[in-house]
Structure 1
Amino acid sequence: MKLLAPLCPWKAAALVPLLMSLVSLTRSSEYEYETWRPPIYGKQPQCMDIPDDLRLCHGVGYSKMMLPNLLEHETMAEVKQQAGSWVPLVYKNCHPSTQVFLCSLFTPICLDQPIYPCRQLCEDVRDRCAPIMEAFGFPWPEMLTCNKFPQSDVCISAPNNSTADAPHVSPICPPCDHEVDAILDHICASEFVIKTKIKEVVREGPDRKVFLQKKKKAVKLGPLKKKDLKKLILYLKNGADCPCAQLDNLSSNYLIMGRKADRQHIITGIHKWDKSSKDFKQTMKKLKSHKCPTFENVFK
C-alpha cells in the first residue's frame, strides 16, 4: 500500500525507470566519485526491504534500499528515527520532488554504487521548502547542505517539467493548512499537543502571539510539565500577515500542536476541535491506540 501515495508525483510502477531517467550522465574531470562515498562504505552495504513503518519512503515506488544509506545511518533504527521528522514536510508538497530528494538519501535504491541527488535538486527543494520549515522555527539542517552534493556527475536531478508542475504555494500560514488525514503524523512530529480555547491573539513583529484560556488538556506533554501549561504562550512564527482561518473566530476548542524553539513555544499545527467532522472524530479515536515512531529531531 502506498502510504504517501497522494504526495508522490509519479506512479509507483514507473518511479524506478523514471529515477534512472533523472540521472545526469555528464562527467566532470574535477569530480571524483570516491570523494562522495561516505566513510561507512568501508562496511559492506546490504540491500534490504524498505520497512512498512518507514513512512517517509515506504511506497515511494521501489521496495529495496541500501544500508548504510547516504546520510551515514548504519542501522534501520537510525533511519527511522531521522526520517520520521520529515513526513510532515512532504505533506506540505512545497516542491514536487521533495520526497524523491529525501528518499534518495534515506533509502537509496540498490545499485552497484550509490547515486546522490544533484546539487541543483537540493537547492530547488531547499529554496521552496526552507520557508515552510522556518514557519515552524526550523532551519535547513546542516546534514543537507547543498554544496555537499555533485553538480554535474552522475546524480539524480529534477524532472525538466518540475517548475511547470510545481504546486501552487498556499498563502495560508503553514501551521494552519494541515489536512485532517495528516494530523497523526503532525502529532507524532510535534513535541507537545493540547486541547484548549484561545483567549486572545496579538501581532508581535513578524509573528502572532497566541494567549490561551486557563483550561487546557494535554494530549501529549512531551518536554512540557503540567505546571508549564498554566503560563503557556504560543507563537505563530512569521504569521503576522498570512491567513489563518482558525484564528478568525476564537469561540471554538482547538487541537494545537507545537514545539519549543529559541525559548518560544511555536505552533506547528492548529485544528478546530470539530465534533461534527467524521474524519476528525475518527482521527482522534485512532490517536488513543496510535504509537508514534521514535525519532530524533534532525532540525537542530
Structure 2
Amino acid sequence: MVVALQLLLAPISGMFLDGQWDPRSSSRCVTIPRNMALCQGLGYTTMRLPNLLGHESPAEATQQSASWVPLLARECHPHARVFLCSLFAPVCLDRFISPCRSLCESVRNSCAPIMGCYGYPWPRILQCDQFPRDHLIVSTPIPSSPAVPQASCRDCELEEAASAKELLHIFCKSDFVVKLRLMRLNSSASALAKFSLGSRLEVLKHGPLLGGEMRGRLALWLERDATCVGNLSRHHPDGGTFLLTGSVTGERLLVNKAFSWSKRQRHLATAARKWKQHRCRG
C-alpha cells in the first residue's frame, strides 16, 4: 500500500485545462487494455488518449493506474473507480465528458483519510478545483452522503482464539460468522481478486442477510478488500480454511475478526459446535 501511494504521488503532466480538453493535442480512441484492472467492467471498452493525466499510450496509462488499485480495494468510496477511470480511461464519445468537481470532492473526502493513514496527502494532480462545477457536459454529480462507508485504517489480521468462550462472545457481537475455504486463482492481471471461494461454505450466522446471499457478498469482499485478503493469505499463499466474523453495511461485508481453521486451533471447532445451542446474553 505504501509503495503504491509513493507511485501515485509522482509528478505527472496533465492535459486538463480549465475543465476542457486541451485543443492543442490530438486525441484518439483505443481499446482499454485487458490488464488495466482499475477500469474493467464499467460498461465501456474504449478510452481516449492522451487521457486527462497526459498519458500518451495505453501501456503508460495502465502502469500508472495500477498504483490506485490498493487504495480502491480499501472501498473508501463507492464511486472512486468511476472518478479515477474518468481520468485514466476517459470514455470515447463525440463530446468529451469531464468528471464533476462534486464527485472529486466526495471521493477525496472519503479516500484522503485512508491515504493519511500511511502519511500521504491527496495528490496535487487531483486537486478538485481544477474540475468544472456540475453542468450538462460533466458526469453525474455525486453529493456527499452519510451512506458513504467510513473506511478504517486498521487492516484485518489473522488472530489466535484464547478460548471457545471468547469465540462465542465474538459470534454474538458479530452480524455474520462463516467458515470458508479460499483457493488461489491462476495469475490474471485483469482481475483484482487473487482467490476464489471453495465449493463448501458453512454459514454459522447470517445476521441481516438471507442465507443464500452470503456467497455473493463474500465474492465481492474477495475482490474489493485486497488488503484484508492479503493479510489472511500471507502465511497461506495457496489458500486455506478460515473462520470469519464481521458486520454488514448495505451490500458490504466488513471482516472484523479472522481465524485460520486448523487442528491446532481446537477452540474454533468447539465454539462452532456449541454455537448451535448457544444463547447470547443481552
Name the TM-score, length of structure 2 as normaliser: 0.49
Name the TM-score, length of structure 1 as normaliser: 0.46
